[in-house]
């Protein structure tokens, strides 16, 4: 045997070994060649921005005339921090911009209200990214040299570690103001931490919890502009990534506190979550634009924030764009309208729209620029691995969770999926590639030889299900639970699907059909995105095929905690039940240990090795069922300037963050003033 194995190459060696072990796992197929159409120029963070006072500042002429000269606003220099963030001209693809025009987005979600911190979303599609600024920023990191990679400063302009590495002192931008002129201070940061992230009754819209920043982490304010973190692990640089979009984006304490049950006995956590409602205008933000118009199911309009705390090197207060709109429609319509020129921005992410969008964008007079990036979009089917009450399952649901926890069953599921057919059902051509799950291929931490791939093999799948104790006892073609389990009826799996996307529905249909072939009945539960997110976060699913909206499986360093169930409310497929305990399977515990070691490590070689171990644990054990991986394309109307080349639609964050919209402008001769719906107006009083 030894001589025989020596004669074989690495890959075939794996196949032999696996086959003898009855696993029949192989290495994943190499993705078909697909070149990203543009690549970024890599720079250091200091090449993009700095914080400093400039000799003078300017603003749109109509703001000076209609607001400053009439005494409605103080002069622009008084509306800016002592040292505003300054975007450097050399890093601007088209240089210093000019004021005017609007960016017309289309989104498939709907604003539930403006309290993102307490769990309401605004309909996604970049509306929240533009409103809520966070302590650090990571979207634009796709342009940062690997050797200088670390989160960008944002509201936190600088930070330093204590000698022993357990404390991180952060300095906030001094003198920044909310869009209603009220100063931003550490009181807003502490309200965000104590009364939202730490308060177990409050769950921010992307599911942030205290564990997002590491178990036992503490935060305190030293003065109005200085905060100090205390971490259990020394030099926990990971958590600086968590302080970016979604997880640590302060909201105005001066507006929200009065509605929080801790400060208002009349309030409940439900009323707190729903304040302010969507028709509340001019909600104070630190972002570049403020909500000044809202018509349900029609449009949200935002106007420039007169107190925005960022400028260009010429001293122009940003943003350049006076207005941003979000037409309330569908995600598919976002692609259609952007290609047609009635909208300005889309992340082309639904493969069924690729061919038509490519065809139209190729026309010489096409209004839109379309550029494919790398394959950073993927779908994974997460089985619910909690058998401890998460999601309050009934007897059937509990029996399914026990099956999900059975390695033979999970291996059967992954072998019942024909990933090539699933990808072809979305779009033919070089776009999709079978995705085994775990770290995404073609990303920096990916290691093919650590990745187990179970090829499509329905007969082997049926054998796996038999090993898991399932038989078709009533001969109706569907496998039954064992005697005495859920009445010995057919195994029925509920599968949570995001009905806002045709891609999710198509993938769901493929899974239903493929599982029926091997005798498993899957029942899709197709709901809107917001309902889906809430059911997923509360464990009310057996399986959830979901587009990966979180960057840990491509960047590893962003949202690292979510690589495994490192805390009771962190992972997508395994959270704690009512008693707060996690019933981890042995391999999951190993994954948690490896991820925690990665977060505590400061040795790049060790980190690479730890992720190889993680990838092996994830894919050998089918922690979740990878489905398909493909590239997205950024589509932006051609009239816009300062779009960074090679901006991916998703990597550390979505393109709405990556392209740095506050620096984007429309050259004067290309402007379409008629697109603005509230020309020459500024946000008014909150209410």
CB of 369 to ligand BQZ, least distance (A): 17
Strand ranges across the sheet with 625-630: 433-434, 625-630, 377-383, 543-547, 492-498, 521-527
Nearest CB to ligand BQZ, comparing residues 319 and 529:
529
Q: Which of 28, 31, 60, 125 binds ligand BQZ (CB under 6 A)?
A: 125
Query: For residues 499-558, which are near ligand BQZ according to CB under 6 A?
Result: 529, 533, 549
**Number of residues binding to ligand BQZ, judged by CB under 6 A:** 12
Nearer to ligand BQZ, 217 or 242 (CB): 242
- Cis bond leading into 354, ω under 30°? no
Distance CA 482, CA 4 (A): 43
Please select the residue that binds ligand BQZ; options are 97, 113, 119, 126, rule is CB under 6 A.
126
Any idea what DSSP says for residue 558? T
3 state SS of 86: strand
Q: How far apart are CA 21 and CA 414, in angstroms?
A: 17
Indicate the residue among 225 and 345 with the shorter CB distance to ligand BQZ.
345
* Closest distance to ligand BQZ from the beta carbon of 252 (Å): 21
CA distance 534 to 493: 19
Query: Applying CB under 6 A, which part among 13-21, 120-128, 267-275, 672-680 lies near ligand BQZ?
Result: 120-128
Which of 307, 320, 331, 435 contacts ligand BQZ by CB under 6 A? 331
Q: Binders of ligand BQZ among 446-505, rule CB under 6 A?
A: 498
Q: Is 124 in the site for ligand BQZ (CB under 6 A)?
A: yes
* Options 118-126, 220-228, 231-239, 619-627: segment touching ligand BQZ (CB under 6 A): 118-126
Per DSSP (E only), the strands in 510-632 are 521-527, 543-547, 625-630
Measured N-to-C along each axis, helices 458-467 and 407-415 cross at an angle, to the nearest 10 degrees, of 160
H-only helix segments in 374-457:
395-404, 407-415, 419-426
The whole-angstrom separation of Cα 615 and Cα 609 is: 10
The total of other beta-carbon atoms located within 10 Å of residue 284's CB is 25
Shortest Å, Cβ 660 to ligand BQZ: 15
With binding defined as CB under 6 A, does residue 226 bind ligand BQZ? Answer: no
Q: Which is nearer to ligand BQZ, 253 or 377 (CB)?
A: 377
Closer residue to ligand BQZ in complex, CB, 125/175: 125
Residue 469: left if φ>0, alpha if ψ -120 to 50, beta else—which one? left
Could you give the string, one character per residue 346-385, with x where binding to ligand BQZ holds by CB under 6 A and - elsewhere?
A: -x-x------------------------------------
Between 189 and 291, whose beta carbon lies closer to ligand BQZ?
291
Among 654, 658, 662, 682, interactor with ligand BQZ by CB under 6 A: 654
**Residue of 188, 333, 335, 656 that binds ligand BQZ (CB under 6 A):** 656
Closest contact distance (angstroms) between CB of 653 and ligand BQZ is: 8
Phi-psi bin for 145: left (phi > 0), alpha (psi -120 to 50), beta? beta
Residue 229 to residue 248: CA distance in whole angstroms? 13
Residue closer to ligand BQZ (CB basis): 452 or 624: 624
Is the separation of the CB atoms in 543 and 493 below 8 Å? yes
98/535 with CB nearer ligand BQZ: 535
Give which of 225, 241, 244, 242 is closest to 134, Cα–Cα: 244
Stretch of 87-95, 123-131, 152-160, 452-460 lying at the interface with ligand BQZ (CB under 6 A): 123-131
560-580 burial code (b ≥16 CB/10 A, e <16): bbbbbbbbbbbbbbbbbbeee
Query: What ranges in 184-268 are assigned the alpha helix state H?
Result: 186-192, 238-242, 253-256
Residue 36 beta carbon to ligand BQZ: minimum distance, rounded to whole angstroms: 17
Task: Identify which of residues 398 and 544 has a Cβ nearer to ligand BQZ in the complex.
Answer: 544
**Of 563 and 633, which CB lies nearer to ligand BQZ in the complex structure?**
633
Residue 239 makes contact with ligand BQZ by CB under 6 A? no
Q: Please state the closest distance from residue 399 (CB atom) to ligand BQZ, in A.
A: 29
In angstroms, what is the minimal distance from the CB of 194 to ligand BQZ?
A: 26
3-state helix, strand, coil in the chain (%, to 5): 35, 20, 50
CA–CA distance from 375 to each of 36, 163, 192, 319, 632 (Å)?
A: 8, 41, 35, 31, 7
State in angstroms the smallest separation of the CB of 685 from ligand BQZ.
29
Q: Considering the complex, what minimum distance in angstroms separates the CB of residue 529 from ligand BQZ?
A: 3
Return the number of other C-beta atoms located less than 10 Å from residue 317's C-beta: 25
Would you tell me which residues interact with ligand BQZ (CB under 6 A)?
A: 124-126, 331, 347, 349, 498, 529, 533, 549, 654, 656
């Amino acid at each position: 045997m030894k001589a025989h194995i020596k004669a074989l190459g690495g890959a075939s060696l794996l196949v032999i070994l696996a086959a003898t072990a009855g696993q029949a796992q192989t290495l994943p197929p190499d993705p078909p060649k697909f070149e990203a159409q543009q690549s970024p120029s890599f720079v250091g963070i200091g090449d993009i921005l700095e914080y400093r006072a400039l000799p003078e500042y300017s603003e749109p002429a109509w703001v000076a005339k209609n607001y400053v000269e009439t005494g409605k606003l103080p002069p622009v220099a008084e509306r800016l921090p002592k040292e505003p963030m300054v975007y450097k001209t050399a890093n601007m693809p088209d240089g210093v911009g000019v004021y005017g025009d609007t960016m017309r987005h289309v989104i498939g979600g709907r604003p539930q209200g403006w309290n993102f911190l307490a769990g309401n979303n605004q309909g996604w599609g970049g509306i929240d990214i533009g409103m809520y600024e966070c302590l650090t920023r990571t979207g634009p990191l796709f342009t940062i040299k690997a050797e200088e990679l670390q989160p960008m400063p944002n509201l936190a302009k600088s930070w330093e570690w204590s000698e022993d590495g357990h404390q991180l002192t952060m300095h906030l931008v001094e003198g920044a103001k909310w869009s209603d002129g009220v100063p931003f201070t550490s009181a807003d940061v502490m309200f965000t931490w104590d009364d939202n992230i730490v308060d177990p009754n409050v769950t921010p819209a992307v599911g942030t919890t205290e564990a997002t920043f590491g178990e036992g982490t503490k935060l305190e304010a030293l003065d109005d502009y200085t905060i100090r973190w205390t971490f259990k692990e020394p030099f926990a640089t990971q958590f600086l990534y968590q302080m970016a979009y979604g997880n640590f984006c302060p909201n105005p304490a001066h507006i929200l506190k009065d509605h929080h049950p801790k400060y208002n006995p009349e309030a409940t956590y439900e009323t707190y979550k729903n304040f302010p409602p969507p028709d509340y205008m001019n909600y104070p933000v630190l972002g570049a634009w403020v909500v000044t118009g809202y018509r349900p199911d029609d449009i949200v309009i935002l106007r420039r924030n007169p107190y925005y705390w960022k400028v260009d090197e010429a001293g122009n207060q940003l943003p350049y764009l006076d207005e941003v709109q979000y037409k309330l429609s569908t995600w598919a319509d976002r692609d259609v309208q952007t290609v047609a020129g009635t909208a300005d921005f889309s992340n082309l992410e639904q493969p069924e729209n690729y061919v038509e969008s490519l065809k139209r964008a190729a026309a010489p007079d096409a209004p839109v620029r379309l550029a494919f990036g790398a394959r950073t979009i993927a779908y994974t089917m997460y089985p619910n691995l909690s058998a401890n009450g998460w999601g309050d399952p009934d007897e059937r649901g509990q029996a399914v969770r026990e099956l999900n926890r059975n390695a033979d069953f999970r291996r059967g599921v992954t072998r019942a999926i024909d990933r090539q057919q699933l990808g072809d059902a979305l779009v033919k051509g070089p776009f999709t590639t079978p995705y085994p799950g775990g770290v995404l291929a073609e990303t920096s931490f990916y290691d093919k030889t650590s990745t187990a791939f179970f090829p499509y093999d329905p007969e082997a799948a049926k054998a796996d299900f038999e090993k898991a104790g399932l038989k078709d006892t009533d001969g109706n073609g569907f496998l039954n639970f064992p005697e005495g389990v859920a009445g010995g009826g057919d195994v029925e799996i509920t599968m949570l699907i995001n009905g806002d996307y045709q891609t999710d529905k198509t993938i769901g249909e493929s899974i239903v059909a493929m599982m029926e072939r091997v005798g498993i009945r899957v029942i899709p539960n197709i709901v809107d995105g917001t309902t889906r997110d809430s059911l997923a976060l509360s464990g009310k699913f057996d399986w959830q095929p979901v587009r990966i909206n979180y960057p840990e499986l491509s960047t590893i360093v962003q949202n690292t905690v979510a690589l495994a169930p490192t805390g009771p409310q962190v992972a997508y497929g395994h959270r704690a039940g009512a008693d707060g305990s996690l019933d981890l399977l042995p391999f999951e515990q190993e994954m948690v240990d490896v991820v925690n070691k990665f977060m505590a490590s400061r040795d790049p070689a060790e980190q690479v090795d730890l992720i190889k171990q993680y990838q092996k644990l994830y894919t050998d054990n089918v922690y979740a069922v990878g489905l398909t991986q493909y590239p997205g394309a950024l589509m932006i109307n051609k009239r816009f300037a300062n779009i960074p080349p090679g901006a991916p639609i998703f990597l550390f964050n979505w393109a709405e963050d990556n392209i740095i919209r506050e620096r984007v402008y429309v050259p004067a001769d290309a402007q379409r003033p008629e697109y603005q719906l509230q020309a020459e107006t500024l946000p008014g009083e909150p209410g």
